[in-house]
Structures are given as structure tokens and as C-alpha cells.
Chain A
Amino acid sequence: MKKRLVDLAHARSGDKGDTANIGLIALKPKDYPLLVKQVTAARVARHFKGMIKGPVERFELPNLYALNFLLHGALDGGGTISLKTDAQGKVFSTALLRMEIEVKQ
């Protein structure tokens, strides 16, 4: 069955220039492998299609049961240049939590 990431993980995001980062953290350590397997860089890039201009990078932090994503070209130039409400990518994290992944019953 499908489950939304909001029920499996929490997250925080921030910015570096025109790049938004999203730290995705498993609510329960046992679900971390599921995130590693399904929330790939390619999957995240598809999720944000049309919202970001550059590639997505992913880093693993098994010690924190967390994944870190870098979304390049996500902030309309970023910082002071950006015209976006979320110019610093503060709530990009919650947009990722809308993603659905497949979990065993």
C-alpha cells in the first residue's frame, strides 16, 4: 500500500544561494531503509519537476536515520534576488513530505 512521507518522516530545509537543502529524517529508525530505497535522487527530481531548474543530489546519514537532498536551481536565484515567498527554501521540506512511497502492509 502507499503511504505519504509525512507519516514516515519529518524534515527541515534551508538554503545555500540558489540551492535548497532538505533533510529528511525517519520518524522510526526501522523505516530508514525504506527511505533509502525509495526516496532516491531521481524520484525527488521527478516529484519537484517544474519547480526546480537543476539536478538533485542525495547524501546518506545512517547515523541520524536521515537523507540530505540538495535541490539545485530551486529558489529563483535565491536569497535577495528571488521573487518567491519561500526565497530561502524554508518549507521545501514539507513539499517533499507530500510524496507517496510503497510500504508493505
Chain B
Amino acid sequence: MTGRPTTVRVAGGQGFWGDWLEAPYRQVTGGPVDYLMMDYLAEVTMSILQKQKSRDPARGYATDFVTQMERILPAVVERGIKVTANAGGVNPRACAMAVAAAAEKLRLNGTLKIGVVTGDDLLGRLDGLLARGHDLKNLDTGRPLKDVRDQVLSANAYLGAGPVVEALQRGAQVVITGRVTDTGLTLGPLMHAFGWTSDAWDQIAAGTVAGHIIECGAQCSGGNCLYDWKRIPDMANIGYPIVEARADGSFDIVKHPGTGGRIDIASVTEQLVYEMGDPRAYITPDGVADFTTIQLSQVSKDRVRVSGVRGKAATDKLKVSVAYFYGYKAVGTLVYSWPDALEKAKAADRILRERLDALGLKFEAIHTEFVGADATHGPLALKDVDVAAIPEVQLRVGVRARDEAPVDRFTREIAPLILNGPPSVTGFAGGRPKPEEIVAYWPALIDKKMVQPAVELIEA
């Protein structure tokens, strides 16, 4: 028998590309952990990376990850911690080579194995797939992808934990992937460590729930937590979450001692419901988790136990995320002060719209918000507010069009309002807004058998 561990600790180090740079280092040095998982890929990120790669074939990955690895590799190597990250973007191999170069300074003499997971990138295969009848219909609208084929910038299937497990089994200490699901980066280590088979549906579901809880970093340990938020301790020093899992699939959510934040049933529940669809069917490439079976209990301070998770068999599809060029948008803002702040802002909006109309500009949408009055809660907010007392309101007008010309003309219509519109206006120091390209997102499904994940190992 191989010696299986009784518990495995997977630490969440980054909830998105742009998350706290201090968190990974704190996770690997603040106490014992076996794995560090880091999520870098939002839907729109892939298209940005694809654009970078088209300009320079050596790019197309999350460069911050390499800087981060330079910092944490000494501790990671010394402590034998394994790292899983989807920082590879659309160029996992180049990302791995960059990490290998960073590792060279540590003189590891080829002892660091970096696993590279590819096979998710469908951009080069797209026409072949469409020709063979995989029409990649938009899950929301039902339209076939051929309608926007010419505008497609990136297309990636979401891979599951499988190739992460394979890389770990082949001895990788660092696993760098492209579009692997956020949850797969946590589930993979647990499957590998406990020897869970790919049809152990309850354990797969449990590992998926564990991954969901820690994939947004501190958002389960007191960050962005509405419940009792004023009394969440020492947020400046917030502890990122750690899954402490057992072979039966039950696990605790904990954090390193001495860190801030809070792990309780409220903070974990808020993260469980985040971005949730049908709770009975949380679908990943690895299986289907039933969130209505999750049982939570507070075992001790900052330790919440998760048990009872049930799962069902995986589907025969993979989700595909396609990014395509959509058009242009721009947002202009001005700030109006008391007295009559909201009335002035509303008047300015009316005048602006009249001028845009007189210019004959055609937009797909014009959207006005009065920040400080109705931007986040719409008309619901104004019922409860003494409108006359509002000290200032930011007028925020956005426009969207398929062509750049009307959007560009719009950006020149904001500043004139300062001198030729309603009074008491300020807050324009940022200058004229810039038209921005819109890259839109097209969710679709593809037959699993059409996507073959690949794993290779690089020694550094």
C-alpha cells in the first residue's frame, strides 16, 4: 500500500489576476500547507492574452505569476509545497519556460519539475470544428458561432482536474495550465493525494465545493463579507483560506494563525452562493455537485467544517468560452454639487442626449446613471433619500455602438457641458474619455471527446 495522507491542506493564493500580491507568500510561509492554488483567468482575460500572443509568440500568459513564483519558489522548494495555477493563459508552455528561467537562479539542477497542461485552446481548430457540425451555439441566445466567426479572438474549452492530476502523478511540483476550471485547481491535488478515482462522484463534488469556496481568495474568509462586516478583525492582515481535506471528502476551511479576517458559517455561506445558478446542479467537467447537500458547522474559531456533499456523474460536454470583437463603448462623467445636485445632473443628461440626437449619432445603447443617487439601486434608492440634501451627484453617461465614429464623437460632447450646461460642475480633470473596444463573451458547449488535454513536463 502506498502511504496516503490523512489530511491534505490546499491554500488559496490568488482569487483573480490582480489579487493581493502578498497573499501567496503569506500562504506558503504562514504555516503548514501541501498545495498552493492560484486562479488567474477571468473570461475576458483569455482574449487579452490571445492578443498579446498574436503580437509576440513568447507572451500570452499571466506575467505576474512569474514574478510571484520568483518570490515564493525558495519557500515552495524548501517546504515541498506543490503549486497549481491557470496562469498559463493561452501560452502555458511559455509561462512554464519563464518560471523555469526564474528557477535557474535557485540552482535546483533539474530537480524542479513543471507540469504544463494544454489542449484547451480551440482557436486554431475552430473552422474544422464548425465544418464538422459543432456549431458552438451561444448558451444564452442559441445563435450559432458562425454568425460572429470573423470577430472571434479566442476560444477555449474549460478543462477539469484530470490533466492536473496527471501532471502531479508524473512528479510535477508546479502545474501550469491554460483554461482549467478554478475548481479543478483544488480538486486535482485532492484526487491525486487521496487517490480518488474520476468516478468517485461524492468526493469529486466535495473537492469541487472546496475549490469553489477558496477560488475567490479571501472572499470566504472575511473579505467582501456583508455579515457583521464592521467587526471582522484585522482586515489589513487578512488570512487567505486553506482547505484541510480528509479522504472521505469532508473538509475544514481554515486560515493561518495570527492572520486577520474571519471564517465562520456566514462568511463561507456568502461565498457558496456567489455566482450560483441551480444549486442542485453545479456542473464542472469533473462532475455535478449538489449544493443543497452541503452541511456546515463551526468546529472552532475560524474553522468551518463542510460535510455531506453529494455529487452526480459528469456530463459528456465541456463548456467553451469564446471571446469576440463586439464594438465600442465610452463612459463620460461630470460631478454636480448642491444645491439641486441631482436636478442639475438630470438636466445635463437631457441636454447631452438632445445634442447627440441632433448630431444624428446612432448608438446601440445610451445608459445614464446618477452616482450618489441611483447608480447601484436604481429607483429603489431614491424612495428613501432626501433628494434636496444630496451634496453632490456624479453624472455618468455610457454609450455603445458597433462603429467607433459615434462613440468617438460622444466623447467630445462631455467637456462642453462644463461651460454651456447646468452650473456647479466639476470633476473633469481626467480629461476626455477614450473609446474602448468591447470584447464580448460567447458561452457554448462542445462534446468532451473533441477535446484532448495534454500534459508535458519541463525540468528546471
Contact = CB atoms under 8 A, between A and B. Distances in A.
A86 interface: yes
Nearest to B443: A17
B274 A23 contact: yes
Nearest to B266: A10
A51 B273 contact: no
A81 B379 contact: no
A8 interface: no
B227 A63 contact: no
B456 interface: no
A60 B291 CA distance: 10
B291 A51 contact: no
B398 interface: yes
A96 to B, nearest CB: 9
B273 A25 contact: yes
Given A12-B270, A83-B367, A21 B376 contact: no
A70 B271 contact: no
A93 B400 CA distance: 26
Interface in A23-50: 23, 25, 27, 47, 50
Contacts of A84: 367, 369, 375, 398
B294 A63 contact: yes
A70 B275 CA distance: 10
B200 interface: no
Interface in B425-448: 438-441, 443
Contacts, number: 128
B123 to A, nearest CB: 18
Interface stretch (B64-72, B95-103, B245-253, B276-284): B276-284
Given A76-B367, A81-B400, A95-B377, A23 B272 contact: yes
A85 to B, nearest CB: 5
B273 A68 contact: yes
Nearest to B326: A81
Given A23-B274, A47-B380, A70-B277, A80 B369 contact: no
B129 interface: no
A86 B380 CA distance: 15
B331 A91 contact: no
Contacts of A66: 269, 272-273
B140 A17 contact: yes
B292 interface: yes
B150 interface: no
Interface string B282-310: 00000000011111100000000000000
B455 interface: no
A84 B396 CA distance: 9
Given A21-B275, A23-B270, A27-B227, A80 B438 contact: yes
Contacts of A95: 376-378, 380-381
A16 B377 CA distance: 19
B396 A85 contact: yes
Contact of B275 (A14, A50, A64): A14
A98 B274 contact: no
B294 A64 contact: yes
A90 B381 CA distance: 16
Given A25-B266, A66-B269, A11 B398 contact: no
B430 to A, nearest CB: 16
B44 interface: yes
Contacts of A86: 375-376
Interface in B53-92: none
A7 B326 CA distance: 42
24 contacts: A12-B224, A12-B270, A14-B274, A14-B275, A17-B140, A21-B277, A25-B273, A50-B379, A59-B278, A59-B279, A59-B280, A64-B291, A66-B273, A68-B273, A68-B279, A79-B440, A84-B369, A85-B375, A85-B376, A85-B396, A95-B378, A95-B380, A98-B380, A98-B384
Given A12-B224, A16-B275, A94-B377, 4 more contacts: A11-B226, A64-B269, A76-B365, A94-B376
